[in-house]
Amino acid sequence: MDKVFYELVLIVRPDVPVMQLPSIVESISSVLSAKKGSIEGVEYWGFRTLAYRIEKRSKAHYVFLGLALETETVEKLVEELNYCLKFHLRQEIARHLLLKVAQLHLPTPLFHSSLAEAVSGAASYNKALEECENMMDEETDDESVSKEVAQ
C-alpha cells in the first residue's frame, strides 16, 4: 500500500500540564490506528511565545507529529482526525495545522526534545518543587516551635 505523509502541529493551551501531552498524542494515535495510519515521529517544540494572542494567551506548548496514512483511507481519516481535534480535544488544543508533505524530515529544525524527555523533565521539576515546598514548610514549623519555646 502507498503511504501519504502529513505533518500535524498542535498548539496546546498553556494551562495543560506537560504530563498530559502523551495522553493527547495517544488519543490521536487511536484514531489513526483504527484506519491503518501511524505516527512516525513526535517532537516537543517547547513552551513558546505565540505569534499572536489566542484566547487571551500569549504562550503555548507546541507538539509536532509526523503521520503516515494509507492512500485508500486518507480523506476519511483526515476528516476523523479534524473532528477529534475540534470536538474531543477542544479543551486542550488551542489550534492545529495539518499539512500534506512529500516526505517527513525528522528531526525538524524546531526540535526541542522528545515528548518523553519533556515529560521526564517536568516530573523532575515537579518533584524538586515539591521537595522545596516541604523544606519551607518544615522551616516554618521549626520557627513556630522556637517562638513558642521562647515565650
Tell me the C-alpha to C-alpha distance, in Å, between residue 7 and each of 24, 40, 103: 16, 10, 9
Tell me whether residue 136 is in a domain. no
DSSP 2: -
pLDDT at 137 exceeding the cut of 60: yes
Looking at residue 64, which CATH number applies to its domain? 3.30.70.60
User: How is the chain split among helix, strand and coil, in percent rounded to 5?
Assistant: 45, 35, 20
pLDDT digits (tens, 9 = 90+) for 8-39: 999 999 999 989 999 989 988 888 888 888 89
pLDDT at 126 exceeding the cut of 70: no
Average pLDDT over residues 101-123: 77
- Say which residue, 114 or 56, is predicted with more confidence: 56
Q: How confident is the model at residue 43 (pLDDT cuts 50, 70, 90)?
A: very high
C-alpha angle 39-40-44 in degrees, rounded to nearest 5: 85
Tell me whether residue 97 is in a domain. yes
Tell me whether residue 51 is in a domain. yes
How many domains in the chain?
A: 1
Residue 135: CB partners within 8 Å, gap ≥ 6?
Answer: none
Q: How confident is the model at residue 116 (pLDDT cuts 50, 70, 90)?
A: confident
**Could you list the residue range(s) of the whole structural domain that residue 109 is in?**
3-114
Cα 26 from chain centre: 11
Tell me whether residue 125 is in a domain. no
Tell me the C-alpha to C-alpha distance, in Å, between residue 136 and each of 129, 131, 147: 11, 9, 17
State residue 40's pLDDT score: 93
Question: What rounded mean pLDDT belongs to the chain?
Answer: 81
Tell me whether residue 122 is in a domain. no
pLDDT at 5 exceeding the cut of 80: yes
